[in-house]
């Protein structure tokens, strides 16, 4: 009788604790929160490590972006034409230097002149756009809209003035911080090419080197995990930079055709802002609309036409060809990740939110699939899948 009760208790324990999905999820969540609590308690140990990582990350990130752009050509020449990686790397560095010299001598002076003029004339441009909008809304029937727009403009001007004043005060009060930022930028620009050189030369050996540290039975799956992570990050980086480049080119061509003032500066700004998915083009569109409104109504219509044509080409041709569905992220997921990451980490969240989510998604999905294979909780599903597979085989054999 006692043995039966013990057996019954053991079965209940296994059923409701060990082999219960809800209990396992709660236990894992508890362990996760416990780990966070422990790390919070030993933060004095982790702070120096974080300072060290934050110091070396800027040159590594800059070199990594350039690596993902240049590495496909290095791999192609090595695989197809047997060109040594060192030779291709040196040739790429020479081409980059020549391109930089050409950009500095030709494009930079034009853009610098337009940016300087745009910054200098922006207050008058803004006031002119506001006055033109208010004249358009003088119709008595649009009184409510006009009043709401006036309140919005006043609030925006107050916010911009306060933020400008706070930025100036913070800059004047933190000269040492400004010096440290300049030092970091200089060190990044000096060390990133060195890091990039060795990445291009020896980067293909990193994955086999890391796989050696995993147990033998996990080496194949760990190698595939590293490959998937590298593929996701490289697809995102190359895709975003390629799309941003062509967006800048399209806006530059369109603005030059319609004769929009400060067109090249606005086009370059649109290219950089397009690195922010979904929202970048709309943000870059605002100053173009303001300049077009200030110039004339026909110019505003031309700006709207250029923006419509650019959006059509980008969404229907460039983005599907370049980005495709490599990250396998729904647009709603992308937007929610951007909103949440920007709210928590600001600009860094906007830049790194999507690739971080893609990497975490790959890791979590692989861990979950491995857990499904080894856990007894999903044993019934595995038996059902095996029965379905055997039934399908029997059906094929009978046919």
Sequential pLDDT tens for the chain (399 residues): 444 444 445 566 666 666 667 777 788 888 888 988 888 887 777 788 788 888 888 899 999 999 999 999 999 999 988 899 999 999 999 999 999 899 888 888 888 888 888 888 877 777 776 676 666 666 555 556 556 666 666 666 565 555 555 544 544 444 455 566 677 788 888 899 999 999 998 888 889 999 999 888 889 989 999 999 999 899 888 888 988 999 999 999 999 999 999 898 899 999 998 887 777 778 888 889 888 888 888 898 999 999 999 989 988 888 777 765 556 677 788 788 888 888 888 777 878 888 889 899 999 888 888 877 776 666 665 555 555 656 666 665 555
Whole-angstrom Cα distance, residue 222 to residue 237?
A: 23
Q: What is the value of pTM for the model shown?
A: 0.74
Is 17 among the domain residues?
yes
Is 26 among the domain residues?
yes
Beta-carbon neighbour count of residue 106 at 10 Å? 10
Residue written as token pair 């990445």: 199
Q: Could you tell me the residue range of the domain that residue 31 belongs to?
A: 1-41
Q: Are 311 and 243 in contact (CB under 8 A)?
A: no
What does DSSP assign to residue 279?
T
Is 20 among the domain residues?
yes
Q: How far is CA 9 from the centre of its chain?
A: 52
Whole-angstrom Cα distance, residue 354 to residue 373?
A: 29
Q: How far is CA 244 from the centre of its chain?
A: 12
Sign of CA dihedral 328, 331, 337, 338: positive
Whole-angstrom Cα distance, residue 259 to residue 291?
A: 11
Q: In this predicted structure, what is the pLDDT of residue 6?
A: 47
Is 284 among the domain residues?
no
Is 253 among the domain residues?
no
Whole-angstrom Cα distance, residue 85 to residue 73?
A: 10
Angle at the Cα of 12 (from 34 to 367), degrees rounded to 5? 45
Is 13 among the domain residues?
yes
Is 32 among the domain residues?
yes
Q: How many domains does the chain have?
A: 1
Is 175 among the domain residues?
no
């Amino acid at each position: 009788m006692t043995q039966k009760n013990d057996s019954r208790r053991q079965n209940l324990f296994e059923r409701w604790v060990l082999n219960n999905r809800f209990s396992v999820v709660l236990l894992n969540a508890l362990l996760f929160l416990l780990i966070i609590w422990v790390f919070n308690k030993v933060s004095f140990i982790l702070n120096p490590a974080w300072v060290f990582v934050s110091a070396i990350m800027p040159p590594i990130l800059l070199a990594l972006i350039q690596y993902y752009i240049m590495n496909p050509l290095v791999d192609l020449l090595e695989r197809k034409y047997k060109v040594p990686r060192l030779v291709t790397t040196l040739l790429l560095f020479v081409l980059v230097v020549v391109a930089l010299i050409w950009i500095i001598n030709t494009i930079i002076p034009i853009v610098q002149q337009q940016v300087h003029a745009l910054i200098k004339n922006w207050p008058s441009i803004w006031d002119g756009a506001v006055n033109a909008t208010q004249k358009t809304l003088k119709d008595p029937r649009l009184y409510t809209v006009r009043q709401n727009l006036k309140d919005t403009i006043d609030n925006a001007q107050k916010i911009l003035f306060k933020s400008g004043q706070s930025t100036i005060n913070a800059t004047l009060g933190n000269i040492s911080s400004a010096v440290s930022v300049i030092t970091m930028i200089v060190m990044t620009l000096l060390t990133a090419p060195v890091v990039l050189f060795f990445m291009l030369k020896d980067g293909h050996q990193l994955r086999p080197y890391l796989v050696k540290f995993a147990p033998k039975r996990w080496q194949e799956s760990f190698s595939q995990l590293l490959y998937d992570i590298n593929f996701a990050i490289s697809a995102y980086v190359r895709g975003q930079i390629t799309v941003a480049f062509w967006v800048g080119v399209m806006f530059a061509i369109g603005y030059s055709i319609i004769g929009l003032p400060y067109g090249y500066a606005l086009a370059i700004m649109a290219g950089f802002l397009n690195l922010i998915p979904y929202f970048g083009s709309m943000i870059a569109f605002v100053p173009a609309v303001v300049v077009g409104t200030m110039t004339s109504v026909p110019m505003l219509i031309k700006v709207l036409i250029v923006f419509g044509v650019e959006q059509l080409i980008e969404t229907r041709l460039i983005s599907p060809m370049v980005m495709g569905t490599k990250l396998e992220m729904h647009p709603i997921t992308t937007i929610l990740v951007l909103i949440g990451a920007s709210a928590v980490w600001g600009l860094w969240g906007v830049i790194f939110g999507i690739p971080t989510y893609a990497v975490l998604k790959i890791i979590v999905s692989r861990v979950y699939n491995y857990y499904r294979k080894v856990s007894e909780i999903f044993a019934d599903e595995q038996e059902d899948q095996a029965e379905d597979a055997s039934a399908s085989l029997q059906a094929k054999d009978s046919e």
